[in-house]
Amino acid sequence: MARVRVQHWKESEAQPLLRALRAAGHQVDYTHEPQSNVRYIRDTQPEAIVIDLSRSPAHGRELAVYLRGTKSTRHIPIIFVDGEPEKVQKIRDLIPDAEYTTLAKVAALVKRAIAKPPAAPVVPPQMMERSASRTTAQKMGIAANSRVALIDPPGRLHPRTRRTSARRVSGRRPTRSFACHGMVRSRPRRVRPSVAEEAKSGLAE
């Protein structure tokens, strides 16, 4: 019986996958909360990690990329289940030595992955490395000539930028809207003069 960690992003749809693994005799750990994954996997060291790609495949991809980039979890076999072929192929390009299967075959693939884990696991580039050549606008999904709304922006804006609030975003609908409520206004810090500078100033007077 192997200890298997399952990541499925839709709790109500995870049961068939969990049943298939338990029916094969595996001890299955599951949570749909992504923030607990990395620490839990690092601390418990499961024998395999099963990531469902039918929901939020980008989340599953980045979880796998992070695990491969971490020395303490790099050796753990990763099995991806289901997903749209085009999106699965993009993940294959990043992590070619992971296992890719369907729900019907997942139990057999988990057994094979545990028996023959990658000898030298591929370490794909992290997300920021993959997007290093992209501009900030591209990373935010803003196409050329787009109309963008900044809602309640902090600080000063360029003179040609019109300040607005959520209630005033009307008329021509912007392509992208970004709320700025959580941003912190940058203020110059007042630096207290040193004792020597104060003394010098007093002598000058």
**For the segment 95-113, what is each residue's pLDDT rounded down to a tens digit?**
999 999 999 999 999 999 9
pLDDT tops 90 at residue 190: no
pTM summary value: 0.63
Q: Which residues, in sequence order, are CB contacts of 69 under 8 Å at separation 6+?
A: 123, 124, 126
Amino acid 165: pLDDT: 45
Are 51 and 79 within 8 A, CB to CB?
Answer: yes
Amino acid 119: pLDDT: 87
| CA nearest to 14, candidates 26, 30, 35 | 30
Identity of residue 64: A
Residue-range domains of the chain with CATH: 3-130 (3.40.50.2300), 134-205 (no CATH)
In the block, tokens 């980008």 appear at 58
Tokens of 9: 């992003």
Of 1-10, 52-61, 143-152, which range is least confident? 143-152
Q: Which residues, in sequence order, are CB contacts of 113 under 8 Å at separation 6+?
A: 48, 77, 78, 79, 99
Amino acid 34: pLDDT: 55
